[in-house]
Structure 1
Amino acid sequence: MPAPTRRSFLALGALGGLLSVCGCTDDHDKNARPTAEDADRPLRQRQLAATDALLADYDAVIAASPADAARLGDLRDDVLQHREALAQSLPASSPAASASASTAAARTVAELAASERRTAGRRLADLADASPALARTLASVAASGAAHAAALGDTGPIADDGPPPSASPSPTASAAPSGSASPAAMRAADVEALQAALAAEHAAVYGYGVVGAFLPVGPQREDGRAAYAAHQARRDAWQRLLAAGGASPAAAAPGYRLPFQVKDAATAGRLAAHLETQLTAAYADLCATTALRARAAAALRECALRAARWGADLPALPGLAAADPAPSASAT
């Protein structure tokens, strides 16, 4: 092979410089591909703006009603945790600075409750376009916002979630399959997550059978019956969806071991709260799917609301925070 000449060195040097200036390298092309983090960035920024506006509403209502400061302060702390979860991978920013730049609309607790409900709807509006990880966070934050709104007296529907306006808002209505996604198009991971949710519903149906046996006649027993029917309906809906997609729905276990002994109305209510809280984790995982995301978010919200009604101390991020061990199933 002949030795390279000075002219060939100059030519190679010029070509290398041209590639360097143009950035035309294989490594550059690979690194230029957008990541899920890049795609999520506009959604996260939009959600941060909505969170800062909600924080400004809290500050305005707390300032106008000092008597409610303690109660509202706990809810505001949850919203700060929402902000932290939504701000992941974004440059650090101060919520106080962002909030002070806007004019708070809420001046009463009722207006603050409505603001919580509207903001929960904004979370769900971005659900379809979010990455699986961000979708789980958005659904959890929306469920928390719905629980906040209910605690403040606003139990209105959450936009972009649940049954259509013309449908009855009963617990069983939103449990039925809806949407345009075909069961046959579900990925294996979606089927696996749905099977896990179905198994959790089997346990919940069993658990509510125990709960109902210890509740006295009255509003509590009616709440227990409504929850029992809702979980039966959702269990049946998931079974139909799996069967339509060619999968064998997971069967209920022969028996279930409860996390503690139920012996009166108080422990029955505690078990109901425990069951609903555990279900939020199953539905947070289901929110990471594509075909079932909206329905999973609806289920997550309903479980969070029922858990709160049964007296559960909901975490700021239902379904994402560490929870007690779920009731385990064992053959009897």
Structure 2
Amino acid sequence: MHPPSRRTFLALGLLTTLTACTADPGGRPVGPTPTSDPDTPARLRAIADTDLLLGAYDNLLTVPGAQTALLQPLRDDTVQHRAALVQGLPAATPSPTSTPYRSLPTLPELALMEHRTAESHLYGFDEVSPDLARLLASVSASNALHAATLGDQTPVNTPAGQARAERAADPVPAFQAALSAEHAAVYGYGVVGAHLPDDPQRTDARTTLAAHQAQRDAWQRLLTAATAAPTPAAGGYQLPFPVTSPAEATKLAVHLETRLTATYADLVTTLPALHRPLAATALRETALRARRWGAPPTAFPGIPAI
């Protein structure tokens, strides 16, 4: 799937006019691009995309009978995203500003905007600093959560990293860390499934267990391809609390997924840039699973505080 284009937003009737901005080859407004900080163009692109979302939320929230309880928390998250992105700009750099929308988006159109923004934040993020990559991966995961909340269940595409001419850092330590985290998750879901009744929740636990087994196997393959021996699973893992009931099993599932979001957010900063999309995808998927198990919403999945 390609990044959101100017044509996409025109078709939705959602394109705003940004002041003092130019456009990148994909059609997104990028604003002024000082060269003193190599992260600045990526930040400005992300801010411009975020401003589009804020304008759409503001339009919907002004409609009588708007679903405020649904929309306001998502808008609040988006405000936090913008603040975090602006915070890293050089002091003299103006950020994009937007004018009001001329038309009103529907909820499906807003969901599509969130979906597209989740993708657009990850285009070229293998070229930015590790700290900005971590932030963009987390914000992208939050946009994917918003899209799902608004009813868009289609998979979010993560672009593949581009090969770099310079010598890449050794990915093996980061691969091993990811593998160890998935070994623990596979063990934990064995406990979760054993304490759930034979109903849709147990089916969800089996599906999630299979997803973590597949992710574990993927890290093992990458390690083998790197001529490294994958770290084997331990015989057992310490649980954070006793699990003896369905409620405690669900709580454990939330804990496992929430802990993995932090693992994968950190992995974005430690993996070589070429492999960042792998960690970003894993972060998004585990954030979505955490939501399904009842984890409290957060504007920055995987990042404790900003």
* TM-score, structure 2 as length reference: 0.80
Compared with structure 1, are the counterparts of its residues 216 and 250 closer, same or farther at alpha carbon in structure 2 (3 Å cutoff)? Answer: same
For the 8 Å contact 1:212–1:225, the answer to whether it is kept is yes
1:259 aligns with 2:258: no
Q: Which residue of 2 aligns with 1:130?
A: 128
- CA shift, 1:92, in A, is 8.3
1:195 aligns with 2:193: no
1:224-235 correspondence to structure 2 within 5 Å: 224-235=205-216
One-letter identity of the residue aligned with 2:88: S
Query: Counterpart of 2:62 in 1: which secondary structure?
Result: helix
Percent of aligned positions with the same letter in both sequences? 53
One-letter identity of the residue aligned with 1:232: Q
Q: CA RMSD in A?
A: 2.6
For the 8 Å contact 1:140–1:300, the answer to whether it is kept is yes
Higher helix share: 1
1:319 aligns with 2:302: yes
Q: Which residue of 2 aligns with 1:7?
A: none
What whole-Å deviation, never above 9, does each CA across 1:253-285 have from its counterpart, x for those lacking one? 222111112122221111111101110111112
What whole-Å deviation, never above 9, does each CA across 1:55-108 have from its counterpart, x for those lacking one? 11111111125441122111111111111221123248999x924x15266522
One-letter identity of the residue aligned with 2:266: D
Q: What is the rounded CA distance, in whole Å, between the counterparts of 1:270 and 1:104 in structure 2? A: 45
What whole-Å deviation, never above 9, does each CA across 1:41-62 have from its counterpart, x for those lacking one? 0110111011011011111111
Compared with structure 1, are the counterparts of its residues 270 and 93 closer, same or farther at alpha carbon in structure 2 (3 Å cutoff)? Answer: farther
User: Larger deviation: 83-92 or 224-233?
Assistant: 83-92
Question: Structure 2: where are the runs of 5+ without partners?
Answer: 1-33
Q: Which residue of 2 aligns with 1:3?
A: none
Query: Counterpart of 1:87 in 2: which secondary structure?
Result: helix
Q: Which residue of 2 aligns with 1:118?
A: 116
Query: Counterpart of 1:263 in 2: which secondary structure?
Result: coil
For the 8 Å contact 2:133–2:268, the answer to whether it is kept is yes
Q: What is the rounded CA distance, in whole Å, between the counterparts of 1:117 and 1:233 in structure 2? A: 24
Query: Counterpart of 1:154 in 2: which secondary structure?
Result: coil
Q: What is the rounded CA distance, in whole Å, between the counterparts of 1:104 and 1:308 in structure 2? A: 34
Q: Which residue of 2 aligns with 1:58?
A: 57
One-letter identity of the residue aligned with 1:187: A
Q: What is the rounded CA distance, in whole Å, between the counterparts of 2:157 and 2:60 in structure 1? A: 24
* TM-score, structure 1 as length reference: 0.74
For the 8 Å contact 1:141–1:316, the answer to whether it is kept is yes
- CA shift, 1:180, in A, is 7.6
For the 8 Å contact 2:158–2:281, the answer to whether it is kept is no
Q: What is the rounded CA distance, in whole Å, between the counterparts of 2:52 and 2:202 in structure 1? A: 40
Q: What is the rounded CA distance, in whole Å, between the counterparts of 1:37 and 1:61 in structure 2? A: 38
Question: Structure 1: where are the runs of 5+ without partners?
Answer: 1-34, 162-177, 323-332
For the 8 Å contact 1:60–1:104, the answer to whether it is kept is no
1:68 aligns with 2:55: no
Q: Which residue of 2 aligns with 1:304?
A: 287
Compared with structure 1, are the counterparts of its residues 150 and 292 closer, same or farther at alpha carbon in structure 2 (3 Å cutoff)? Answer: same
What whole-Å deviation, never above 9, does each CA across 1:227-273 have from its counterpart, x for those lacking one? 10110111111112112212222222222111112122221111111
For the 8 Å contact 2:138–2:301, the answer to whether it is kept is yes
Q: What is the rounded CA distance, in whole Å, between the counterparts of 2:142 and 2:133 in structure 1? A: 14
Q: What is the rounded CA distance, in whole Å, between the counterparts of 2:245 and 2:286 in structure 1? A: 23
Q: What is the rounded CA distance, in whole Å, between the counterparts of 1:271 and 1:233 in structure 2? A: 20
- CA shift, 1:37, in A, is 6.9
- CA shift, 1:134, in A, is 1.0
Q: What is the rounded CA distance, in whole Å, between the counterparts of 2:75 and 2:244 in structure 1? A: 36
- CA shift, 1:160, in A, is 3.6
Q: Which residue of 2 aligns with 1:153?
A: 151
Q: What is the rounded CA distance, in whole Å, between the counterparts of 2:142 and 2:92 in structure 1? A: 23
